[in-house]
């Protein structure tokens, strides 16, 4: 049998050389091309190889444009996309374009050879790619440690498949962000992403929150309410803290997932929905199953694919990049100059254990942005900021006042006028957004929770604000 033919397309000569050499040593027949056009010419003349590796960023056509042309001319050719930029948008773009694998640069040569062998043995024609989603998400996942790159590749690949995903990880590790990325990069991206935190809603309201109710279904149900399942039709439903769901509701959820249809509480009309469920938990669900607190069959249905988010202390390499991003966001929000971390300050951050994970780091950065004097953040600022990390939500009140006061002082120092009106507006906006997020966008309920009239809330939201 003749050796499988592999083409390597990369404008970087050294990458071409080392990869081609390693593949040849493993017994493959390898050709290298320094740009997409040469590879396409060769395809015309010699027909397709058995496998092709391509870089993404190259002069002329990039790897994704090449991938598109290859898919038109040789749909069955498996393509491995290589890139130094492993974020979810890149990995999802590659898989959406029909890539078979995504190889993060720099890579280990043994891994690349193993990947070639695996791809050659399993390759099958790929399905029609769905249309591309919007680019450059604002809430992009940050990280370039190996654990995160592995995660980004998994998200990019899974986004295309209609499978249920279970996201596990400690509190504040980014589980919701992962769910949003899975949705955003999926063929469902133009349809709703609906989130429900099972732990945040009283058990007796959860059923109607999920499945809706008809008017008069129970005391207090004056009007028909459309549940989250219906709201998410065609899109994705994120069920956070799934381990906290009461057992009877687990039974109902299981049935709905199996049948794809349900009745609203007190309803007779059978509702059919097409929803991709992404569940998340910080708990050990197997442990809950063993204790009889979680249904094993529901676990199996939700856990078709599992994504584990590593705690921040297992990926300290990401701390600097995350901190930079949060400090920049805070500076922008406060309208203050950007503060940078001094080296000793960064070292202190890297050494911290981060029990609250990325959320804790985010809070610390916001506090530093508000409180640290000067443009460079010193180690001493950190001792204070880390020591003051609020363990309980109640403490957030104090931090908030300190931030507000710092903001006001910064504004006054810059000679800003009309501070009160400006602060009032931000204050209102923060409260309204929190309340609307809490009620899933329902204005009447949000107004009631804030102790405002609905009209007042609408007026404060202003004409420019989109209705959610």
**Residue 69, interface with ligand ATP (CB under 6 A)?**
no
414: DSSP letter: T
Q: Residue 45: how many CA atoms within 13 Å on its side-chain side?
A: 6
Residue of 18, 42, 117, 142 that binds ligand ATP (CB under 6 A): 142
Q: Which range binds ligand ATP by CB under 6 A, 99-107, 169-177, 184-192, 433-441? A: 169-177
Structure token pair of residue 464:
């420019």
**Residue 439, interface with ligand ATP (CB under 6 A)?**
no
Query: For ligand ATP, which is the closer residue by CB, 78 or 172?
Result: 172
Q: CB of residue 283 vs ligand ATP: minimum separation in angstroms?
A: 10
**Residue 172, interface with ligand ATP (CB under 6 A)?**
yes
Q: Note if the bond before 330 is cis, omega within 30 degrees.
A: no
Q: CB of residue 86 vs ligand ATP: minimum separation in angstroms?
A: 13
Residue of 10, 207, 230, 240 that binds ligand ATP (CB under 6 A): 240
**Residue 173, interface with ligand ATP (CB under 6 A)?**
yes
DSSP codes of every residue in 333-370 = HHT-PPPEE-HHHHHHHHHS--TTHHHHHHHHHHHHHH
Structure token pair of residue 33:
């091309």
Q: CB of residue 13 vs ligand ATP: minimum separation in angstroms?
A: 34
Q: CB of residue 240 vs ligand ATP: minimum separation in angstroms?
A: 5
Query: For ligand ATP, which is the closer residue by CB, 70 or 232?
Result: 232
Residue of 157, 175, 183, 225 that binds ligand ATP (CB under 6 A): 175
**Residue 381, interface with ligand ATP (CB under 6 A)?**
no
Identify whether the C-beta of residue 303 lies closer than 8 Å to the C-beta of residue 145: no
Query: For ligand ATP, which is the closer residue by CB, 83 or 173?
Result: 173
**Residue 282, interface with ligand ATP (CB under 6 A)?**
yes
Q: Scanning residues 90 to 119, which ones bind ligand ATP (CB under 6 A)?
A: none
Which run of H or E residues covers position 88?
A: helix 88-96
**Residue 174, interface with ligand ATP (CB under 6 A)?**
yes
Give the residue closest to ligand ATP by C-beta: 174
The three-state secondary structure class of 160 is coil
**Residue 61, interface with ligand ATP (CB under 6 A)?**
no
Q: Which range binds ligand ATP by CB under 6 A, 78-86, 171-179, 395-403, 431-439? A: 171-179
Q: CB of residue 333 vs ligand ATP: minimum separation in angstroms?
A: 13
Structure token pair of residue 461:
């939201």
CA–CA gap between residue 160 and residue 244 (Å, rounded):
29
Q: 114: closest CA among 124, 103, 126, 125?
A: 103
**Residue 8, interface with ligand ATP (CB under 6 A)?**
no
Backbone angles phi, psi at 136, to 5 degrees: 45, 70
Query: For ligand ATP, which is the closer residue by CB, 142 or 388?
Result: 142
Q: CB of residue 215 vs ligand ATP: minimum separation in angstroms?
A: 33
The widest CA-to-CA distance across the chain, in whole angstroms, is 80
Residue of 362, 364, 407, 446 that binds ligand ATP (CB under 6 A): 362
**Residue 155, interface with ligand ATP (CB under 6 A)?**
no
Q: Which residues of 5-44 are buried (b: 16+ CB within 10 A; e: fewer)?
A: bbbbbbbbeebbeebbebbeebebebbbbbbbbebbebbe
Q: What residues pair up with 79 in beta bridges, in sequence order? A: 52
Residues in contact with ligand ATP, shown as a per-residue x/- string from 195 to 234 under the rule CB under 6 A = ----------------------------------------
Residue of 145, 150, 164, 171 that binds ligand ATP (CB under 6 A): 171
The three-state secondary structure class of 72 is helix
Structure token pair of residue 196:
């429900």
Q: Residue 226 CB: number of other CB atoms within 10 A?
A: 13
CA–CA gap between residue 368 and residue 378 (Å, rounded):
10
Residue of 133, 141, 345, 372 that binds ligand ATP (CB under 6 A): 141
Q: Note if the bond before 106 is cis, omega within 30 degrees.
A: yes
Give the number of residues in contact with ligand ATP, rule: CB under 6 A: 18
Residues in contact with ligand ATP, shown as a per-residue x/- string from 306 to 325 under the rule CB under 6 A = ----------------x---
Q: Residue 172: how many CA atoms within 13 Å on its side-chain side?
A: 13
Residue of 169, 227, 235, 311 that binds ligand ATP (CB under 6 A): 169
Identify whether the C-beta of residue 178 lies closer than 8 Å to the C-beta of residue 238: no
Q: CB of residue 139 vs ligand ATP: minimum separation in angstroms?
A: 6
Alpha-carbon distance values, 420 to 250, 404, 412, 450 (Å)? 49, 12, 11, 21
Q: CB of residue 281 vs ligand ATP: minimum separation in angstroms?
A: 8
CA–CA gap between residue 243 and residue 279 (Å, rounded):
9
Q: Which residues bind ligand ATP (CB under 6 A)?
A: 139, 141-143, 169, 171-177, 240, 282, 322, 358-359, 362
């Amino acid at each position: 049998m003749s050796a499988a033919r592999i083409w390597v397309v990369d404008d970087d000569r050294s990458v071409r050389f080392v990869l081609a050499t390693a593949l040849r040593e493993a017994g493959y027949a390898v050709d290298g091309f320094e740009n997409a056009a040469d590879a396409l010419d060769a395809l015309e003349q010699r027909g397709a190889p058995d496998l092709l590796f391509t870089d993404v960023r190259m002069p002329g056509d990039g790897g994704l444009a090449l991938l598109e042309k290859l898919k038109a001319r040789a749909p069955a050719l498996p393509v491995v996309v290589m890139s130094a930029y492993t974020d979810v948008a890149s990995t999802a773009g590659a898989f959406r374009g029909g890539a078979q694998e995504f190889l993060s640069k720099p890579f280990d040569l043994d891994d690349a050879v193993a990947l070639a062998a695996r791809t050659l043995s399993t390759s099958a024609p790929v399905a029609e790619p769905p249309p591309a989603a919007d680019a450059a998400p604002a809430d992009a996942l940050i990280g370039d440690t190996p654990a995160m790159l592995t995660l980004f590749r998994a998200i990019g690949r899974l986004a295309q498949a209609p499978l249920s995903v279970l996201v596990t990880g400690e509190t504040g590790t980014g589980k919701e962000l992962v769910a949003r990325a899975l949705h955003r990069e999926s063929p469902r991206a133009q349809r709703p992403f609906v989130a429900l935190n099972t732990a945040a809603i009283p058990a007796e309201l959860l059923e109607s929150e999920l499945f809706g109710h008809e008017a008069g279904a129970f005391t207090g149900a004056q009007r028909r309410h459309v549940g989250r399942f219906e709201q998410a039709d065609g899109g994705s439903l994120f069920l956070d803290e799934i381990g906290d769901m009461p057992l009877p509701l687990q039974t109902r959820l299981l049935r709905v997932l199996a049948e794809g249809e349900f009745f609203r509480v007190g309803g007779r009309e059978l509702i059919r929905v097409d929803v991709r469920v992404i569940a998340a938990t910080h708990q050990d669900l197997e442990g809950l199953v063993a204790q009889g607190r979680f249904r094993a069959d529901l676990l199996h249905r939700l856990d078709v694919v599992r994504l584990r988010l590593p705690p921040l202390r297992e990926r300290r390499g990401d701390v600097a990049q995350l901190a930079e991003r949060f400090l920049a966001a805070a500076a922008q929000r406060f309208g203050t100059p950007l503060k940078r971390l001094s080296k000793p300050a960064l070292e202190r951050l890297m050494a911290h254990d981060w029990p609250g994970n990325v959320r804790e780091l985010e809070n610390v950065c916001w506090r530093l942005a508000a409180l640290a004097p000067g443009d460079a953040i010193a180690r001493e600022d950190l001792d204070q900021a880390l020591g003051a990390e609020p363990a309980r939500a109640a403490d957030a009140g104090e931090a908030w006042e300190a931030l507000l006061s710092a903001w006001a002082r910064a504004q006054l120092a810059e000679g800003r006028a009309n501070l009160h009106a400006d602060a009032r507006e931000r204050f209102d906006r923060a409260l309204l957004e929190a309340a609307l997020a809490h009620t899933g966008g329902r204005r009447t309920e949000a107004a009631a929770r804030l102790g405002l009239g609905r009209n007042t809330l609408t007026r404060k939201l202003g004409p420019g604000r989109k209705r959610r």
